Amino acid sequence: MSSQILLKNSSWRAFVRSVQYLRPQMVRKILQLLRLRQIHNGVFVKLNAATIKMLRLVEPFIAYGYPNLKSVKDLVYKRGFGKVNGQRIPLSCNSVVEGTLGDKGIICVEDLIHEIYTCGPNFRDANNFLWPFKLSSAKGGMAGKLNHHNEGGQCGQRAEKINGLIKKML
């Protein structure tokens, strides 16, 4: 991962490799902190110095990049679930969002998408409200799952090419 990652504030992470037999506990702990507890889970992360250091350590196990607005909308509308009193509730109506995030000024799903995409002042609350996205296996398979993206694989920094992977996994 190079220093060019600081071009945007928000990034998308997808867990693409299993860590079932992984020994380093630090890698498992970082994946837990990123809320990537199962394979094919995905989350949004706000980039700062601490998260960039964590990403460098777990880079062989995740694919990440900068999604466009269409990908964010597709993820939230097709696979979006909210966390209400510890329960996983589908985002089928705006009242679910308004009941939990209304005091933060987020009253509908479009406001939630805007807050996530722009990394607004309530990004943390909006992101914590969203349950980690449970994605399908990629259509057509994942060639080179163990290799880095630069070597023709799936893991590592994909920049804007993450949109293609998200589309295959929706």
C-alpha distance from residue 44 to each of 5, 21, 87, 151 (Å): 15, 26, 20, 25
| Position 12, amino acid | W
Mean pLDDT on 93-98:
94
Which one is the CATH code of 3-68+134-169: 3.30.2350.10, 3.20.20.70, 3.40.50.1110, 3.30.1390.20?
A: 3.30.1390.20
pLDDT above 70 (res 91): yes
For residue 88, with 0-12 CB atoms within 10 Å meaning exposed, 13-18 middle and 19 or more buried, which class applies? exposed
Give the integer Cα–Cα distance in Å for 49 and 33.
15
Residue extents of the structural domains in the chain: 3-68+134-169, 81-130
Per-residue pLDDT band at 26 (split at 50, 70, 90)? confident
pLDDT in tens, 32-71: 999 988 888 999 999 888 988 888 888 888 888 899 999 9
Q: What is the pLDDT of residue 125?
A: 95
pLDDT above 80 (res 5): no
